[in-house]
C-alpha cells in the first residue's frame, strides 16, 4: 500500500511544475498509464511506443489498447488471417 501511495505523492510533487492545466492533465494521464502498466507487469516504455506506432487503430478502438489487453490486440494485428 505504501508503494502505491508513493506514486501519488511523487506525482503531486511533480505537478507543481506544470505550466498549464492542459500540461497537468497530460502529465496525469501519462502517470496513470505508466503506473497501470507497472501494476500489470508490463514495460511502460514498450506500451507507449506501441500506442504511437498504432495511433490510427488506437483512435478507432481505444478500448482494445488498454495496458492489460494491448498485447492481445498486437497479436491479432500480426497474425495473418486465412482467406
Determine the structural domain holding residue 58 and report its residue range: 45-83
Q: What is the pLDDT of residue 75?
A: 92
Same domain, 52 and 73: yes
Q: What is the pLDDT of residue 24?
A: 82
Same domain, 33 and 65: no
Same domain, 76 and 54: yes
Same domain, 29 and 62: no
Same domain, 34 and 53: no
Same domain, 3 and 34: yes
- pLDDT single digits (tens) 16-60: 777 888 888 888 888 888 888 988 899 999 999 999 999 999 999
Same domain, 18 and 32: yes
Q: Are 47 and 32 in contact (CB under 8 A)?
A: no
Number of domains comprising the chain? 2
Distance CA 60, CA 35 (A): 24
Q: What is the pTM of this model?
A: 0.72
- pLDDT single digits (tens) 54-71: 999 999 999 999 999 999
Q: Are 43 and 57 in contact (CB under 8 A)?
A: no
Q: What is the pLDDT of residue 51?
A: 93
- Over 80: is that where the pLDDT of 5 sits? no
Amino acid at each position: 500500500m505504501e508503494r502505491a501511495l508513493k506514486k501519488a505523492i511523487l506525482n503531486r510533487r511533480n505537478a507543481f511544475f506544470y505550466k498549464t492545466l492542459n500540461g497537468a492533465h497530460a502529465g496525469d494521464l501519462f502517470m496513470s498509464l505508466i503506473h497501470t502498466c507497472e501494476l500489470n507487469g508490463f514495460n511502460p516504455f514498450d506500451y507507449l511506443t506501441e500506442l504511437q506506432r498504432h495511433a490510427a487503430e488506437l483512435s478507432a478502438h481505444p478500448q482494445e489498447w488498454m495496458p492489460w489487453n494491448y498485447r492481445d490486440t498486437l497479436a491479432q494485428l500480426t497474425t495473418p488471417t486465412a482467406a
